[in-house]
Structure 1
Amino acid sequence: MDSLPRADGIDLKAHIRSVPDFPKPGILFYDISTLLRDADAWQIAIARMTRALTPRRPELLAGIESRGFLLAAPLASRLGLGFTMIRKPGKLPGPTVGLDYELEYGSDRLEIQQDAVRPGQRVVVLDDLLATGGTMAAAISLLQQVGAEVVSAAVTIELNFLGGRDKLGVPVDALVSYDE
């Protein structure tokens, strides 16, 4: 699904600020802080994502540090599910499992607690943005490594023109999408 339906008549793109040349020249940054601070728009965003995820029948939601937490935590509460965190190295206590991965501008690492997922548990992984798909693909791979059945990914914003969903191998739900 390219972007979730707007039966309620609210255009969520109108609540997302575009910031040119941030964090560096040539980058157009989509700032969700303007969506988060508008109570009505934020409630509608969570309601839309709840409708999209319900048919996927998740048993657990996983959020990618840090803005993925902003979407995953309230959705988990609304859906009556647990929530687990996928974080940068050294941020989680106890035994962890990690995955190093390559990005277009270097490499990075994600970690999850070793016991965060039961084998075969149906998980949806969430983040604020899907661009080239490197981080989301790594998160999906990491969840599978610890035994999860990743049933879908969900994001606040998808940049369709970068083709990130093609790297994921799971369905993707996006609140809003941009084609250029």
Structure 2
Amino acid sequence: MTGDTELKRQLVHRHIRPFPDFPKKGIMFRDICPILKEPAALAAVIDLFEEHARKNYEKVELIVGLDARGFLFGPLLAQRLGIGFVLIRKKGKLPGATVSVVYDLEYGTAEMEIQEDGVAPGQKVLLIDDLLATGGTLLAACELMRKQQAEVLGCMVIIELKELNGIEKLKPLSVYSLLEY
């Protein structure tokens, strides 16, 4: 890791605000909102994602962002890479024909979808979100991409919560995390 890369990671780290006991007791919530308020921190996030994508995913054709925080970083990265951006949303939020997948949550299920024409068969995509916790949401997004016959090259997140071991669900896919807690 270059010195410049490490300085950017430190800048991003300084702009993540911890909230103990949110949304319930025993949870340490990592708030990324301060990154969005500080142009240098936001630029550092996109710089780090761009550097990783250019080095490891030369053939990426599309960035796919997960509802909702993947929408904040994905379009900026896509624009830097000169490629398109597509949304994966919660069920019922997209117009037109959609493809969906149901996935398990800690207490129940959820459903996410993409517009039917959002990703072409064989298209090489990178998934982006703010957080990897248990891995369920990113795994569901990968399943949605399989339904679309897209090729998932990898996943990128700002924060990985190591103790929840979500990365295991995503194997053999590569997951790039800017920060690990």
TM-score, normalization by structure 2: 0.92
Equivalences, count: 175
Displacement, 1:113?
0.7
- Counterpart residue identity of residue 161, structure 1: E
Task: Tell me the SS of whatever aligns to 2:149.
Answer: coil
Task: Tell me the SS of whatever aligns to 2:4.
Answer: coil
Displacement, 1:85?
0.4
Distance 1:6 1:51 in 2: 14
Q: Is the 8 A contact 1:5 1:48 kept in 2?
A: no
Residue 48 of structure 2 is matched in structure 1 by 48
Q: 5+ residue gaps in structure 2?
A: none
Residue 123 of structure 2 is matched in structure 1 by 121
Q: Work out which of the residue numbers 127, 144, 147 in structure 1 matches 2:146.
A: 144
Q: 5+ residue gaps in structure 1?
A: none
Task: Tell me the SS of whatever aligns to 1:7.
Answer: helix
Distance 1:120 1:96 in 2: 18
- Counterpart residue identity of residue 104, structure 1: E
Deviating above 6 A after TM superposition, structure 1's stretches of 4 or more consecutive aligned residues are: none
1:27 aligned onto 2:27 = yes
- Counterpart residue identity of residue 118, structure 2: A
Displacement, 1:6?
5.4
Q: Is the 8 A contact 1:16 1:31 kept in 2?
A: yes
State the identity as a percent: 46
Residue 70 of structure 2 is matched in structure 1 by 68
Q: Please, which moves more after superposition, 103-112 or 143-152?
A: 103-112
Distance 1:44 1:67 in 2: 16
Displacement, 1:21?
1.4
RMSD over aligned CA atoms reads: 1.3
- Counterpart residue identity of residue 40, structure 2: D
1:88–1:6 CA distance, 2 compared to 1 (3 A): farther
Task: Tell me the SS of whatever aligns to 2:90.
Answer: coil
Residue 166 of structure 1 is matched in structure 2 by 168
1:14 aligned onto 2:14 = yes
Displacement, 1:5?
6.0
Q: Deviations over 1:47-103 (max 9, x none)?
A: 011011112131000000000111111000111010000000111111001101112
Displacement, 1:125?
0.6
Distance 1:21 1:127 in 2: 23
